[in-house]
Amino acid sequence: MTQVNSNLPFAGRRDNTGKVIHMDIRRGHLCRWNGKDQPAQEYDYVQGRLTGITIRKHESLNGETMFMDLHFVYGEHRFEVSTLASSGISAELISKLSNIQDVSSTIEIDVWPRGAYTNCAVREGGQKLPYRLLPKVEHKQSGFKTTLDTAERDKAVMEMIEELNARLAAAGADGNPCG
């Protein structure tokens, strides 16, 4: 169930606890999890001032997984949006966020499902930001198996993240979720 324009000024319910509100992108929506056995609240957009982007490792039984966290503030609210670092949606978000003109402005991220994929739009001051071209994902054939080689795209995305974090730091944001 998608919620639009709910009580939380940037996306969902009001949370005045000072805690960071964690969301992730799944099935074409921004999801806020309420607990292990609780259903997620789904939203179509978030908005706030970007304060930093981090890449983190998560160890599990299936091995190591890398996540990208976008850190935002909106008034007194702190929140982060997480997604798999090597996913297409991460690359698309970064390619659009890298075109921000004023890093202290309010950014809006809209997501929606499109078939098996998730699309997004990033707006600054109501204006949609363009997609910055990235290297293509290579298809590698190994015997009967075809795999995707995202190394060049991942390298370009990491460079954009470093550039954007440097711009945020120069503007006074310290790159952490506290703003």
pLDDT, tens digit (0-9, with 9 covering 90-100), for 110-157: 999 988 889 999 999 999 999 999 998 888 888 888 888 888 999 999
The residue assigned the tokens 């940037």 is 10
**Range of 25's domain?**
2-170
Residue 27 placed within a domain: yes
Domain for residue 59, yes or no? yes
**Structural domain contains residue 106:** yes
* Nearest residue to 53 via CA among 138, 165, 153, 130: 165
Q: What is the number of structural domains in the chain? A: 1
Position 49 confidence tier, pLDDT thresholds 50, 70, 90: very high
pLDDT at residue 14, rounded to an integer: 38
Give the pLDDT band (50/70/90) at residue 108: very high
176 lies in some domain: no
User: Quick check: 68 and 97 in contact, CB under 8 A?
Assistant: no
Mean pLDDT of the chain: 83
In a domain, 177, yes or no: no
pLDDT (0 to 100) of residue 91:
94
Residue at 73 is within a domain:
yes
Higher per-residue pLDDT: 169 or 176: 169
In a domain, 131, yes or no: yes
98: pLDDT confidence band, cut at 50, 70 and 90? very high
For residue 137, give every residue at least 6 positions away whose Cβ sits within 8 Å of its Cβ, in sequence order, or none. 148, 149, 150, 153
Is residue 179 domain-resident?
Answer: no
pTM for this prediction: 0.82
